[in-house]
């Protein structure tokens, strides 16, 4: 072999050997370093291994954001002990930036709030509100205020919510503040403190001019004061904003209009409500009104038309009541139509549900027991027939 080729071969061997050694050294270095943990690792590993990884990462300021996210992750999973442990270790660090320390304090307060440790959560939140008035992030202050409001709602300490909202523009328009006024107003009315109740209702409507409960309380106060027009205006406003809350206003509305010899006005309201928000109570009230102020035939006609468009078990029950009360034979064709319409009905469900989270129950709540939202709990509306061809026309020969 010529000397030139031998030299080239030696150089090639040396280059390959150097590359192999460098690659092996770099690989060992990567393997020996601590692997960066993923969320899946924290979700699946046992608590001891997870906490060791957290403590290993906690040496640098850059890891704080990851730890905050990890704590929030555990909180969402309901593993509050792990979330509290992570946030407590961060909260004890004296080297954190002021704004980051405030975020850590808020996260720890949120853990305590979810765990039901309300006294600890309140201390941390109030300390944030008082000791960090110059925070750069105003959004953080809003979060602190909302957490405090949620805490006082859970404790049903309505007065503290009003005290908190006294000079806080961040809570302007909050339903929680308006409903705190309503809770205190209702308590005042039960104890005959009418002036206090009136002031609280007015305050609630200033915070939220569409607060349904405040409007209902305003109608009750107007009835005590003898202002029928104010009663009617408040109740109609309720039905304008939330027609599905007819059950809350119907007794007072019916009493008012019938006493003032205005049944036609009540009939128009009920008819419009049936088309806007079809519910069994609306149909029941409308049919009952027709039977009382017109004839049973008028009620039967309305009921047969209604259940053909919106089949409900309540509608069938009401129709049968009217037919029994009338006491006349029913044509076979009419019964066949009822049978075919009845087959369109689905299985029954709970009477009320939350529009926010879907929680269902058999009674009304002003505040959803599940997601804690105000005015989100509504009666179920009747379901209209999905396809026009599926509707059954029911003709009742008189």
Mean pLDDT of 218-229: 92
Determine the 3-state secondary structure of 353 from DSSP.
strand
pLDDT of residue 358: 80
Name the least confident of 52-56, 189-193, 381-385: 381-385
Count CB-CB contacts under 10 A for residue 163: 13
The rounded distance, in Å, linking the Cα atoms of 381 and 221 is: 30
pLDDT at 122 over 90: yes
> What's the confidence (pLDDT) of residue 390?
42
Q: What's the pLDDT tens digit per position in 238-285?
A: 988 888 788 888 888 888 888 888 888 888 888 788 777 777 777 777
Rounded CA gap, 251 and 248, in Å?
A: 8
The confidence score (pLDDT) of residue 31 equals: 44
Residue 33 has phi, psi (to 5 degrees) of -75, 155
Give the pLDDT of residue 67. 85
The tens digit of pLDDT for each residue in 170-202 reads 777 688 999 999 999 999 999 999 999 999 999
Cα 220 to Cα 240: distance, rounded to the nearest angstrom = 18
Ordered by start, the domain boundaries in the chain are: 43-155
Topology annotation, domain 43-155: 1.25.40
Read off the pLDDT of residues 282-300 as tens digits, 9 standing for 90 and up.
777 777 777 777 776 777 7
Supply the DSSP string of 191-260, one letter for each residue: TT-HHHHHHHHHHHHHH-TT-HHHHHHHHHHHHHHT-HHHHHHHHHHHHHH-GGGHHHHHHHHHHHHHHT
Average pLDDT estimate for 11-35: 54
pLDDT in tens, 71-84: 889 998 889 999 99
Other CB atoms within 10 Å distance of the CB of residue 203 = 19
**Least reliable range by pLDDT among 130-134, 206-210, 249-253:** 130-134
| pLDDT for position 387 | 41
pLDDT higher than threshold 50 for residue 398: no
What is the per-residue pLDDT for 167?
67
Q: Tell me if 277 sits within 8 A of 244, measured CB to CB.
A: yes
């Amino acid at each position: 072999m010529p000397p030139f080729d031998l030299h080239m071969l030696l150089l090639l061997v040396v280059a390959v050997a150097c590359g192999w050694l460098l690659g092996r050294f770099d690989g060992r270095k990567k393997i020996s370093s601590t692997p960066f943990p993923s969320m899946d690792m924290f979700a699946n590993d046992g608590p001891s291994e997870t906490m060791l990884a957290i403590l290993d990462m906690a040496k640098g300021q850059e890891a704080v954001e990851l730890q905050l996210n990890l704590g929030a992750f555990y909180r969402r999973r309901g593993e509050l002990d792990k979330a509290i442990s992570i946030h407590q270790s961060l909260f004890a660090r004296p080297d954190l930036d002021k704004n980051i320390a405030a975020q850590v304090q808020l996260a720890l307060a949120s853990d305590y709030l979810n765990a039901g440790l309300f006294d600890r959560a309140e201390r941390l939140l109030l300390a944030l509100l008082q000791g960090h008035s110059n925070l750069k992030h105003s959004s953080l202050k809003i979060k602190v205020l909302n957490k405090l409001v949620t805490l006082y709602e859970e404790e049903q300490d309505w007065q503290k919510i009003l005290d908190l909202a006294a000079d806080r523009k961040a809570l302007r328009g909050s339903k929680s503040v308006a409903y705190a006024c309503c809770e205190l107003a209702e308590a005042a009315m039960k104890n005959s403190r009418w002036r206090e109740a009136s002031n609280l209702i007015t305050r609630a409507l200033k915070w939220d001019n569409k607060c349904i409960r405040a409007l209902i309380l305003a109608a009750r106060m107007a009835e005590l004061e003898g202002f029928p027009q104010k009663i009617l205006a408040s109740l109609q406003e309720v039905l304008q904003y939330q027609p599905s809350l007819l059950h809350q206003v119907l007794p007072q509305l019916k009493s008012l209009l019938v006493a003032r010899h205005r049944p036609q006005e009540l009939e128009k309201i009920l008819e419009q409500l049936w088309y806007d928000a079809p519910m069994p109570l609306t149909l029941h009230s409308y049919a009952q009104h027709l039977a009382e102020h017109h004839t049973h035939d008028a009620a039967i006609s309305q009921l047969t038309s209604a259940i053909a468009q919106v089949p409900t078990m309540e509608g069938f029950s009401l129709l049968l009541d009217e037919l029994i009360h009338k006491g006349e034979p029913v044509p076979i064709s009419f019964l066949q139509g009822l049978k075919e319409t009845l087959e369109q009905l689905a299985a029954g469900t709970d009477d009320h549900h939350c529009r926010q989270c879907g929680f269902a129950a058999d009674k009304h709540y002003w505040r959803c027991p599940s997601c804690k939202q105000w005015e989100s709990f509504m009666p179920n509306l009747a379901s209209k027939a999905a396809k026009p061809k599926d509707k059954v026309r029911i003709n009742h020969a008189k």
